[in-house]
């Protein structure tokens, strides 16, 4: 079974969370809403990875405000191991590079979007929600 290890960043600005729409031809979870994050480069720390991924995906310089416990699950793509981070942006001006759209939404509004499961798992790990999002 394939195992993928990735960072998952809940990026906040003025009480809203950034969600990014995946491309229709993405290998995993096409056309679904995602948070910033991604896979590690060689010898990269989790902190370096999330800061790099956030910059690459949004053009924003962000700060790490916290992190949560690692979460693990199985899905149709194999085993997934996520390292969640709470991030803070100083601006809401996103410059997309890997996604087709973005929105700043309240945590309550997430239920209105077809999101990847990693978002809910990261929110729970970071203790930002208990229930379904």
Residue 20 belongs to some domain of the structure: yes
Q: Mean pLDDT over residues 100-116, rounded? A: 96
pLDDT at residue 131 in the model: 55
**57-101 residue pLDDT tens:** 999 999 999 999 999 999 888 999 999 999 999 999 999 999 999
Range of the domain at 57: 3-125
pLDDT band at 133 (very low <50, low <70, confident <90, very high): very low
The full DSSP string for the chain is: --EEEEEEEEEEETTEEEEEEPPTT-SSSTT-EE-EEEEPPTT--HHHHHHHHHHHHH---EEEEEE---EEEEETTEEEEEEEEEEEES------SS-SEEEEE-TGGGGGS-B-HHHHHHHHHTTS-SS--
What is the CATH classification number for the domain harbouring 19?
3.90.79.10
Q: Which residue has the higher pLDDT, 118 or 64?
A: 64
pLDDT at residue 77 in the model: 87
Question: Structural domain tally of the chain?
Answer: 1
Residue 46 belongs to some domain of the structure: yes
Residue 66 belongs to some domain of the structure: yes
pLDDT at residue 28 in the model: 87
**7-52 residue pLDDT tens:** 999 999 999 999 999 999 998 899 999 999 999 999 999 999 999 9
Residue 133 belongs to some domain of the structure: no
- pTM to 2 decimal places: 0.93
Q: Is the pLDDT reported for residue 1 higher than 90?
A: no
């Amino acid at each position: 079974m394939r195992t993928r290890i990735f960072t998952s960043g809940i990026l906040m600005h003025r009480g809203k969370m950034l969600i990014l729409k995946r491309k229709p031809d993405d290998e995993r979870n096409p056309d679904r809403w995602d948070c910033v994050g991604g896979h590690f480069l060689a010898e990269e720390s989790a902190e370096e990875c999330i800061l790099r991924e956030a910059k690459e995906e949004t053009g924003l310089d962000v700060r790490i405000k916290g992190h949560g416990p690692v979460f693990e699950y199985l899905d149709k793509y194999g085993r997934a191991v996520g390292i969640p981070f709470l991030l803070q942006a100083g601006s809401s001006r996103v410059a997309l590079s890997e996604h087709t759209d973005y929105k700043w939404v309240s945590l309550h509004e997430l239920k209105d979007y077809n999101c990847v499961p990693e978002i809910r798992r990261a929110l729970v790990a970071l203790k930002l929600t208990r229930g379904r999002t």
